[in-house]
Structure 1
Amino acid sequence: MLLNGMKIVSFCHFLQGPAATQYLSDMGAEVVKIEPPQGAYERHWAGADRAKAGGVSAFFLSANRDARSLAIDLKHPKAKEVVYRLIRQSHAVVENFRPGTLDRLGFGYAAVKSEKPDIIYASASGFGTTGPYASRPGQDLLIQAMSGLIAGTGGRRGPTAVGCAAADQHGAALLALGIVGAYAKFLKTGEGTHVEANLLAAGVDLQSESLVTYYASNRGRAALDRDERLATWFHEAPYGVYQIADGHMVLSLNPPDKLAEALDSAALRAFIGRNAYDGRDAYIAAVAEVLAPLTYAEIAAKLEAHRLWFARVEDFDDLRRNPQLLHNETFRDVDVNGVTVTLVNHPLRYDGKLPGFTGFALQPGAHSRSVLEEAGFAAEEVAALLDEGAVFAPTADMPGGGTRAAE
């Protein structure tokens, strides 16, 4: 794979950091996850009332594949020696604690750089390492609110949150992008880089088109007030979501004359030549009335004949039957302690192939012994670290991290 040979020490928890390192491990990087003896936060919490598969948190399973786990008490006197030996043998350190946390533990950027001058040190935070908000907690919903994303979503029904951790996931992708860019620099020059990412920047970056359009249009806040069926504040009608006889569908950018012809509607022909943005509320209401009594199959037959843009609104159950997603191998079923769980695969292909999958560290410290032995610790040193409570591990390493692809 692309990043075979790259070694990463990860001080990451929650979603942004783990998801970023998962993108990198998918591409072949070796990721060692440093976590406390009781395990990282995402092992103990998940949505949907702490959903689990095989006793393992769904949150953990969403963003930690192929990461090896070293469970260690970072406050133990021998922790620095252990971790720094790993860092000196690695290309990158990735962390997403609040600014200053790792500095207090002795693993901040300045300390790590002094030990390994060519290190790639990637820091992800809520708002950045400096500034008036630096010490605030950064969490996806807070970022959606503070980045304008909630204000710009929902239309007349009022500010509406996006139904997923959009800022976290985009922040993870940006963090991974920065690390890969720094690694390319390292391979060319031998120099390290301090990569800094934050969720607020990610939340704003998600809306680049919307924000640039907003400031250029000079329409002000009134532009956000619109029929709730309109998908965005800046698109003209009929760009939106519609209830139909057997569910919901969306219409994308479609010329009013072609749409009126396709649906053979006198009501819609009345809007031909009008401003589809300034008159967006009236136009979308008229389109909604025409579509409401029709089934998706009836509408699709009419619109496909005129090569218009539309789609059915599919729910999560529909995705498992979607023929394109099946063709793309978007999902992967794996065995977790005897229970099959569905994962979302890496989103890219390389030379026509998806990245492989080796497993999860289903317990904190599942790889503590093997990670330390590979770093050069003798068997007696590993045993002493375990006995002294500096490092923690299950009774024996779990082969392959404890999971395998379902047959």
Structure 2
Amino acid sequence: MTDCETPQAPRLLDGIRVLSFCHYLQGPAAAQYLADMGADVIKVEPKNGAFERHWSGANTYVDDVSAFFVSANRNKRSVALDLKHKDTRRVLDRLVASADVIIENYRPGVMERLGLGYEAVKAIRPDIIYASATGFGADGPLRDKPGQDLLVQARSGLMASTGSTPTVTGCAAVDQHGAALLAMGISAACFAKLSTGKGTRIEGSLFNAGIDMQMEALTLYYTGERSRERFARDPHLGTWFHEAPYGVYQLSDAFIVISLNPVAKIAEALDSDRLRGMASLDAYAERDRIAAALSEVLAPLDFATVAARFDPLAIWYEKVNDYDDLRVDPQAIYNGIFTTIPVAGGEATIVNHPLKYDGAVPSVRRLPPKIGEHGQEILAELGFSPEEIDRLFSDGALALSNPS
């Protein structure tokens, strides 16, 4: 297939303008989903840049560019403003008037203090779709409490239920799920606006996202009137609510996970009389005994041996990959889930948009922007003259990465 024959993903949100007043991960990632789908996302950030430009986990930078920033800010344009400057109001009013969507994840009350709360924005653009993401909610007893992924993992019960002792997930799972939920709500509101002509007020929170991630587990727990003692289990078992052997086991050369499989079937595959003797047990009530026995049977075996025994019986299992394994996983490569982009004087490997549209993954149309990189073109689109733009820059209301 030649380059010109390579399928291109349709820009489903083409023509939709989104103003993103976002920092950290939940808001920027939500805006990036929309940008990937074709929306014109304008990142409105302070003159010194959003938070995620200035921090990166494991001190990972390409030159001075944060890999954290790179992960969630592709396909966007940047305009950098002093939101408290007296002359910025004219820019903000025109930006709002031009927008279909505003998305923000500041603490409750911040946008109101900036004159950008829902009511103020609606007075300028009555059909605005206004999406807010907070830590715990716009109102309520935890309204002003800082919301961050780890804190929400703890408060939502996710940590308590994940391991035999409280266990943190290996990524910012709540942030990412919250971002996907917010993008889902905005996409639905855009669709509704086509038929009704009306905007929508959308409110999301990390706390609700952390709970939503556990809908199956929480429904089982509360409906079954369980108690917290139910979380205690053999450390090999993956959850508190699945029957054995559901969990992770160590082999002589690797770790594997084994999903929902009849104990009798595993006993046959491993030719284990010990496991055959447990085949008639209730696999949930006796899950600890079964998991402990299975771990001992598997321990001396290597992965190739186990795979050769499991595959003919269609047993559900998988080798536990680390990130080095994942980078060369043939399915990850086939799915095109990773791509490498140029950043500053080097390059970064990023995770692509997770969906395909008409057989294609949305492309990286714009690299993560420099601070204020598109300020001149955006203000020109809003009708500001070159002289007005120069004045806003010289007076300190606007920051530009490449001033003329």
Instruction: Give TM class, smaller chain.
Output: over 0.9
Residue 192 of structure 2 corresponds to residue 185 of structure 1? yes
SS in 2 for 1:276: coil
Distance 1:319 1:311 in 2: 13
Distance 2:213 2:318 in 1: 23
Q: Residues 68 and 360 of structure 1 are in contact (CA less than 8 Å); yes or no, is this contact kept in structure 2?
A: no
Aligned-pair distance for 1:70?
0.4
Distance 2:226 2:195 in 1: 47
What's the C-alpha RMSD, in Å, of the aligned pairs?
1.0
Match of 2:256 in 1: 249
Distance 1:197 1:219 in 2: 29
Runs of 4+ in 1 over 4 A off after TM superposition: none
Aligned-pair distance for 1:361?
4.2
SS in 2 for 1:93: strand
Residue 68 of structure 2 corresponds to residue 62 of structure 1? no
Match of 1:325 in 2: 332
Distance 2:119 2:367 in 1: 32
Residue 25 of structure 2 corresponds to residue 15 of structure 1? yes
Distance 1:280 1:18 in 2: 42
SS in 2 for 1:340: strand
Distance 2:390 2:403 in 1: 12
Distance 1:225 1:198 in 2: 29
Residue 125 of structure 2 corresponds to residue 116 of structure 1? yes
Q: Residues 56 and 362 of structure 1 are in contact (CA less than 8 Å); yes or no, is this contact kept in structure 2?
A: no
357, 360, 363: which is aligned to 2:370? 363
Q: Which amino acid aligns with 2:139?
A: T
Q: Residues 13 and 40 of structure 1 are in contact (CA less than 8 Å); yes or no, is this contact kept in structure 2?
A: yes
Q: Which amino acid aligns with 1:5?
A: G
Distance 1:285 1:291 in 2: 10
Task: Calculate the TM-score normalised by the size of structure 1.
Answer: 0.95
SS in 2 for 1:151: helix
Q: Which stretch of structure 1 is more off in the superposition, 357-366 or 249-258?
A: 357-366
Provide structure 1 residue ranges, at least 5 long, that are not aligned to the other structure.
398-407
Distance 1:249 1:376 in 2: 60
Residue 138 of structure 2 corresponds to residue 129 of structure 1? yes
Distance 2:197 2:249 in 1: 55
Q: Percent identity?
A: 52
Deviations 1:366-396 (A, max 9, x none): 1111111112211111111111111110234
Deviations 1:263-322 (A, max 9, x none): 110010011110111111110011111111111111001000100100000000111110
Distance 2:328 2:258 in 1: 22
Q: How does 1:297-336 map to 2 (within 5 A)?
A: 297-336=304-343
Aligned-pair distance for 1:71?
0.4
Match of 2:87 in 1: 78
Match of 1:95 in 2: 104
Deviations 1:229-285 (A, max 9, x none): 110000011000011011111000001111111111001001111011111111001
Q: Which amino acid aligns with 1:161?
A: V
Deviations 1:115-148 (A, max 9, x none): 1110000000001111110111100000000100
Number of aligned residues: 394
Q: Which amino acid aligns with 1:52?
A: Y
Match of 2:44 in 1: 34
Q: How does 1:395-406 map to 2 (within 5 A)?
A: 395-396=402-403
Distance 1:305 1:247 in 2: 20
Residue 297 of structure 2 corresponds to residue 287 of structure 1? no
215, 218, 235: which is aligned to 1:228? 235
Q: Residues 361 and 367 of structure 1 are in contact (CA less than 8 Å); yes or no, is this contact kept in structure 2?
A: no
Bigger relative contact order, structure 1 or 2, given CA contacts below 8 A and separation 6+? 2
Residue 285 of structure 2 corresponds to residue 275 of structure 1? no
Distance 1:39 1:64 in 2: 12
Q: Residues 341 and 367 of structure 2 are in contact (CA less than 8 Å); yes or no, is this contact kept in structure 1?
A: no
Aligned-pair distance for 1:358?
2.0
250, 256, 261: which is aligned to 2:268? 261
Distance 2:267 2:227 in 1: 31
Distance 1:83 1:351 in 2: 37
Q: How does 1:145-164 map to 2 (within 5 A)?
A: 145-155=154-164, 158-164=165-171
Q: Which amino acid aligns with 2:99?
A: S
Distance 1:276 1:392 in 2: 63
Residue 11 of structure 2 corresponds to residue 4 of structure 1? no
Deviations 1:21-50 (A, max 9, x none): 0000000000000111110000000111x2
Match of 1:404 in 2: none
